[in-house]
Structure 1
């Protein structure tokens, strides 16, 4: 678990007297900084000092996993929807593909944040789900790692429709759907 932890974090981890906290950065139009600690935390995890709010709206994260191979990892960030702030943002802004940074920090015995929390997860919002009942409201943000679009094939296809979209009079792909298995590319 070394992953470049600072010596201060390693020393504090060795004491066994630590309290882990999560620092969450949501890259909405106006960025939102939240923590699961019981008090606001100021940290400079990304170079500039930011205050992560402990307002109770950050309910938790599920599905954090890590692999040693490039694969699509996802997690779900659960936010309270009681005061409608985040629901309003989701409905009024295009939050899909907004960046999300999840940092793991540690508090020492004096409840002070140990310098340099590490990046636990980085991804973009893939989808969101709003749940609203008579007793509670929440918004779940599904965040997918940067490998989410790795297998996506973008660009043009070898179809007549795709070719005519750019070159309306070209007939080069007119029979491509019928002969796609017979096309020999390069030398035989």
Structure 2
């Protein structure tokens, strides 16, 4: 994926001493922004909260192949707000953006690159007496590549659309080679 990086970010990325952090934006019914950095991070006029919520972000690799990429994100100590959004199913097909932020030696943010963007495929919560862990699988926009759009020309499809319509009742018994205008 082509990227245009600022000169400062190019310098920081190629530096031997690089500090990085993940910035995750969950676009649920309300937007939640989190970071695994030790303090809150302001990037692109948005504040990403540091609260020890992160456990992990899986590594990902770019390829030239047309494929469905997935990434797993792990959160710990999730808030009641996030838990209720997950329990009500308010996460399905919502967008998630993950950035990799770079910091200079003064711990000021130099910039960030898009690490992964996709839609939430599934979420699970595992809780015990000491901890709650939320695991989220995010898939690229190719994840619904095989989804069939539209309707089928069958009586079942027509009945779902209009229950008393008999227009497609004999659709499967129609002659294969229909010649029009003869």
Normalised to the residue count of structure 2, the TM-score between the two structures is 0.84
Unaligned runs of 5+ in 1: none
| Whole-Å separation in 2 of the counterparts to 1:82 and 1:34 | 11
In the TM superposition, residue 157 of structure 1 has moved relative to its aligned partner by 1.8
After TM superposition, give the deviation of residue 73 of structure 1 in Å. Answer: 1.1
Most deviating of 61-70 and 154-163: 61-70
State the alpha-carbon separation in 2 of the partners of residues 105 and 4 from structure 1.
15
**Structure 1 pair 63–155 and aligned structure 2 pair: CA distance change class (3 A):** farther
Question: Of 104, 111, 126, which aligns to 1:108?
Answer: 104
Whichever structure has more strand as a proportion of its residues is 2
- The 3 A distance-change label for structure 1 pair 87 and 164 is closer
- Structure 2 unpaired stretches of 5+: none
Assess, with a 3 A threshold, how the Cα gap between structure 1 residues 185 and 67 changes in structure 2: closer, same or farther.
farther
In the TM superposition, what is the alpha-carbon distance from 1:51 to its structure 2 partner? 0.9
Q: CA RMSD in A?
A: 2.6
Is 1:107–1:113's contact at 8 Å kept on the other side of the alignment? Answer: yes
**Greater CA drift, 85-94 or 123-132:** 85-94
4+ residue stretches of structure 1 with deviation over 4 A? none
User: What corresponds to 2:76 in structure 1?
Assistant: 80
Count residues in correspondence: 178
TM-score normalised by structure 1 residue count: 0.82
Q: Distance in 2 between matches of 1:70 and 1:50?
A: 32
